[in-house]
């Protein structure tokens, strides 16, 4: 894998949002104190195989909706398989989620083949960042910077594509869980991307929670990954937005 200073890339990407026609521009995150921490490390053979599969799908094209993310998105092929087949697949959708990915991994994938070929989606659905919190405890500003860099790269390639940017899903048993608090803080910045580069920001978090803010194991068995019921909640919330974008 090639290396680059992703700390600088991410900061510049979000800085560019300031001139991108945003109604409420986000703050400019500072670069990571160590660029090395933001350089994607080599992943295992399974990760590379899946990445190359996406490159092949991109080269062939033929789908209108692109889901991008980490294990929660890849989980449409597991716990969410039946819901995907019923509600998402008919929209001509592809799943570009890889378990364990942080923002810099998706950025690397985008720069190394996932956006090439005949790929020309009408809608992208992006949900990413919880592994930055869980694996490395990145600051909310750095998570938002990573997402900003991904959005910048994608929009440069597909300037007319509608982007449905989802807030990072809640995790942890209750609202005071430190990892959830960090994700919530990142979401406050991500929300300011709404209206930039054809982005529609949606925060579905409350749909997964009980009235008191707790997260049940019925929705997320490990309080991170979705159950079949959780994927149905996701589909019910996002499919109308996708259909509306496809109809334009």
Whether 70 is catalytic is no
In the residue annotation, 216 being an active-site residue is answered as no
Q: Is 117 left (phi over 0), alpha (psi -120 to 50) or beta?
A: left
pTM exceeds 0.95, yes or no: no
Q: Rounded to the nearest 5°, which phi and psi values hold at 90?
A: -60, -15
CATH of 6-35+42-247, one of 2.60.120.260, 3.40.50.1110, 3.30.70.20, 3.20.20.10: 3.40.50.1110
Instruction: Tell me the per-residue pLDDT of 196-222, one tens digit each, with 9 for 90 and over.
Output: 899 999 999 999 999 999 999 999 999
Contact yes or no for 186/140 (Cβ under 8 A): yes
Name the catalytic one among 16, 64, 71, 216: 71
Tens digits of residue pLDDT in 117-167: 999 999 999 999 999 999 989 999 989 988 988 998 999 999 999 999 999
Query: Which of 29, 52, 95 has its CA nearest to residue 235?
Result: 95
DSSP output for 41-110: PP--HHHHHHHHHHHHHHHH---SEEEEESHHHHGGGTTTHHHIIIIIGGG-EEEEE-TT--HHHHHHHI
Catalytic annotation on 203?
Answer: no
């Amino acid at each position: 894998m090639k290396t680059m200073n992703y700390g600088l890339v991410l900061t510049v990407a979000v800085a560019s949002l300031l001139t991108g026609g945003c109604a409420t521009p986000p703050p400019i995150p500072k670069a990571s104190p160590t660029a090395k921490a933001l350089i994607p490390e080599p992943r295992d053979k399974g990760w590379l195989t899946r990445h190359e599969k996406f490159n092949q799908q991109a080269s062939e094209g033929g789908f209108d909706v692109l889901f991008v993310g980490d294990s929660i998105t890849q989980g449409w092929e597991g716990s969410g398989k039946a819901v995907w087949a019923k509600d998402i697949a008919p929209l001509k959708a592809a799943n570009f989620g890889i378990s364990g990915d942080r923002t810099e991994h998706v950025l690397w994938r985008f720069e190394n083949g996932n956006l090439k070929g005949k790929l020309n989606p009408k809608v992208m659905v992006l949900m990413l960042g919880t592994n930055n919190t869980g694996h490395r405890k990145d600051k909310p500003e750095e998570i938002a910077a990573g997402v900003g860099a991904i959005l910048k790269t994608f929009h440069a390639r597909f300037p007319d594509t509608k982007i449905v940017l989802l807030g990072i899903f809640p995790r942890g048993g209750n609202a005071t869980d430190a990892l959830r608090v960090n994700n919530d803080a990142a979401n406050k910045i991500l929300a300011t991307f709404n209206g930039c580069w054809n982005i529609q920001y949606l925060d579905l978090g409350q749909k997964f929670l009980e009235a008191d803010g707790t997260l049940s194991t019925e929705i997320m068995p490990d309080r991170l990954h979705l159950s079949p019921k959780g994927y149905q909640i996701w589909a019910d919330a996002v499919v109308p937005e996708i259909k509306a974008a496809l109809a334009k």
